[in-house]
Structure 1
Amino acid sequence: MTTAKTPRKKSKTAESVQPPARVLRRFRLVFNAIKAHFRSVEKKAGISGAQVWALSVVRDQPGIGVGDLARAMDVHQSTASNLLRALIDAGLVVSGRGAADRRAVQLQVTPKGQRILKKAPGPFTGLLPDALQRLDTATLNRLDRDLGRLIDELGIDERGASFPLGSGD
């Protein structure tokens, strides 16, 4: 007995979709992957993705100060301070004063902070920074130039560039 196949609806292939829609779909893929990663981090670690990143930097660089943390995360110093305040209040990081310079704050991860990092899924920097680190220079330069044109077209205030993704800021 032969069964008749019902014709399948053709889905739009990437080639048949107009370039703006294709690019929009790609942005959606990136943003949705980032959101899913941050949801997973918060669910497993109980803190934001940006806090996990800051905590991992402090763990990897014991004694680091706020300014160096801000540079390591490429964020404004006030943003790093806000992230740290939450980590200190939660008992995940402690701050002390340096022996040589009593004004300098030195940060250390607590055992509780270490346990949080063990629960948190990587990469601690987040999916996007991690992927960007793996791209070659030519690709990064092209992305930088092309995204710059998009930012100009959108008329975006670039001050938002100093807030990490997943920080809730």
Structure 2
Amino acid sequence: MATQKTPTPRRKAPVEDAADPAIRVLRRFRLVFNAVKTHFRAVETKAGVSGAQLWALSIVRERPGIGVGDLARAMDIHQSTASNLLRGLLDAGLVVAERAGTDRRAVQLRSTPKGARALAKAPGPFTGVLPEVLGRLDKRTLARLERDLDLLIAELDGDTRGARIPLGSDGR
């Protein structure tokens, strides 16, 4: 009796090689950004919220009663960015904010049934495809990527404040 083999996932062929290494790397960046954009478009189409809002909503659902500061830390974003993401979720009725407990200034967030339905419709991963894939890479690969990207960012004279604005948000 023959046993059935489970097909092994095939990797897509590498991008057509150009003679110039800078062009080849640029093409790979385009592939990464296009994959991220495609995921965020699918999220918005299916769930009706941005990718960053979906991530925030998923955290609120997982941690009922979370505050804005803790949400910002969980997403590694600035608290004002978390507040801006939440504003849309609150306006859409996907999240509610309550002032409860001893400190009436602190807001506790909870997802609503409408929020749960939006999450059920949305394609995963809720954190986005790039964080998901980066989380699967081994430590040596991540360390090498970090060093190499640090060199690129230094050449770009990149503004480090942008590192705390999640992909899939408008950064307001």
TM norm structure 1: 0.89
Mapped pair 1:36 → 2:48: no
The offset of 1:13, in angstroms, is 4.5
> 1:9 maps to what in 2?
none
Distance 1:113 1:77 in 2: 21
Distance 2:82 2:60 in 1: 11
Distance 1:13 1:99 in 2: 59
Distance 1:30 1:13 in 2: 15
Amino acid at match of 1:129: P
Distance 1:62 1:126 in 2: 21
Amino acid at match of 2:169: S
Structure ID, larger Rg: 1
Distance 2:165 2:70 in 1: 16
Aligned length: 157
Corresponding residue to 1:24 among 10, 23, 26: 26
Stretch deviating more after TM superposition (137-146 or 73-82)? 137-146
Mapped pair 1:152 → 2:157: no
Distance 1:13 1:93 in 2: 45
> 1:59 maps to what in 2?
61
Distance 2:97 2:56 in 1: 14
Distance 1:130 1:76 in 2: 21
Amino acid at match of 1:164: P
Q: Secondary structure at the match of 1:30?
A: helix
> 2:3 maps to what in 1?
none
> 1:166 maps to what in 2?
168
> 1:8 maps to what in 2?
none
The offset of 1:67, in angstroms, is 0.6
Change in 2 beyond 3 A, CA 1:152/1:118: same
Amino acid at match of 1:98: A
Distance 1:17 1:72 in 2: 42
RMSD: 1.3
Matches within 5 A, 1:1-169: 13-14=16-17, 17-169=19-171
The offset of 1:103, in angstroms, is 2.1
- Provide, for residues 59-87 of structure 1, a one-character-per-residue CA deviation record: whole Å limited to 9, x for no partner: 01111100110011110000000001111
Distance 2:141 2:162 in 1: 23
Change in 2 beyond 3 A, CA 1:148/1:103: same
Q: Which runs of 5+ in 2 are unaligned?
A: 1-14
Amino acid at match of 2:132: D
Amino acid at match of 1:126: G
Distance 1:96 1:156 in 2: 38
Distance 2:110 2:16 in 1: 51
- Provide, for residues 87-142 of structure 1, a one-character-per-residue CA deviation record: whole Å limited to 9, x for no partner: 11111000112313222211000000000000110010001111111111111111
Q: Which runs of 5+ in 1 are unaligned?
A: 1-11
Q: Secondary structure at the match of 2:98?
A: strand
The offset of 1:168, in angstroms, is 2.0
Stretch deviating more after TM superposition (91-100 or 71-80)? 91-100
> 2:5 maps to what in 1?
none
